[in-house]
Amino acid sequence: MKRVAILVETTLASGRSILNGISRYLQEQDDWSIFHPTGYQGSIEPTGLDQWQGDGIIARISSKRILEFVSRKNVPVVDVIGNVPESDYPIVKCDDEAIGKMVANHFISFGHRHFAFLGLSDERWSLEREAAFTEAVRDRAQSVKQYHLGPEEKRAGYWNENVQNITDWISGLPKPLALMVGSDQFGPMVMKACQRLDLLIPEMVSVVGVDNDMPFCELCRPQLSSVEPDQTRVGYEAARLLDSILAGESSPARQIATPPLTLHARPSSDSAALDDPSLVKAIQH
């Protein structure tokens, strides 16, 4: 029996989908004993590994702290986020460049010329989505702007401050605006900011997120369009890769990127860009 630790949080849909993929692999190879240490509400608690003795780890190595914890165990590790450049472990992750391009093509198809991206300053996946999005719209864009939430600002206690800062940022951007949100969890803040500015969505600000995390998408008014990455496949491929390493097989390429499944177009982005102020006023009326 192979003893495997899983360090993947369950607070967001992406993490739960990765766990689903791992469990699918286990249905085919029922010789794993799983250890899944989580903290409050499913958050990762790497200190749970202190007393664990096992054979391999699948982890979202999102920080140097988690990298240090898994490195101490001196066992094979497969990373399912690829957020720490210093890590030498093999990575299985969603294709963040393809996600950025998919959102860009969606906006371009509706005739947008002004683009923006809202994401995180310290998360590699967010920066890769931003870079691909920016590059894909470059030839069409009259303007491309960015807004980054820092390590402190992504905490729950900064919600009101973030909404006000995002409101100020959006107010100064040209309209109609096509705004990509790096993760659905920040969609409600964007919607609240637009509401404060009396901006019609999607006529004046078109919004698309990532993860297809339905509680966030449905909480937004109008409902949030979102890219669905194939995180289930990430979990499955990570489990298969770790199993092959434990069996003594040579590891393939250092990084495996799974393409996104689809973009779910919902009312937050299902309208062409409107440049006529009188037409926008008529719709608002």
Residue type, 261: L
Percent above pLDDT 70 for the chain: 92
| Mean pLDDT, rounded, of the chain | 91
Are 35 and 3 in contact by the 8 Å Cβ rule? The answer is: yes
User: What's the whole-number mean pLDDT along residues 29-33?
Assistant: 88
Three-class secondary structure assignment of 133-182: HHHHHCCCCCEEEEEEECCCCCCHHHHHHHHHHHHHHHHCCCCCEEEEEC
Bond prior to 229 in cis (omega within 30° of 0): no
pTM: 0.92
Q: How far apart are the first and last CA of the chain?
A: 66
Q: Which of 190, 169, 168, 194 is nearest to 180 (CA)?
A: 190
Adjacent-strand bridge partners of 77: 57
CA–CA gap between residue 141 and residue 254 (Å, rounded): 35
Please report the pLDDT score of residue 250 as a whole number.
74
Both tokens assigned to 260:
């996104």
Q: What is the pLDDT of residue 271?
A: 80
Closest CA to 237 of 221, 223, 253, 215: 253
* pLDDT of res. 285: 44
List phi, psi (to 5°) of 209.
-110, -165
Site of tokens 């809202």: 118
* Residues 70, 76: Cα–Cα separation, whole Å: 9
Degrees to nearest 5, angle at CA 83 with 102 and 13? 60
Q: Region 211-226: what's the mean pLDDT?
A: 96
**Does the pLDDT of residue 73 top 50, yes or no?**
yes
- Tens of pLDDT, residue by residue over 241-258, are 999 999 988 766 689 999
User: Rounded distance, CA 24 to CA 279, Å?
Assistant: 51
The CA–CA distances, whole Å, from 96 to 51, 147, 211 equal: 35, 18, 11
Region of poorest pLDDT, from 40-44, 183-187, 194-198, 255-259? 40-44
- Helix, strand, or coil here: 82? coil
pLDDT category, 238, cuts 50, 70, 90? very high
> 78 versus 279: which is more confidently predicted?
78
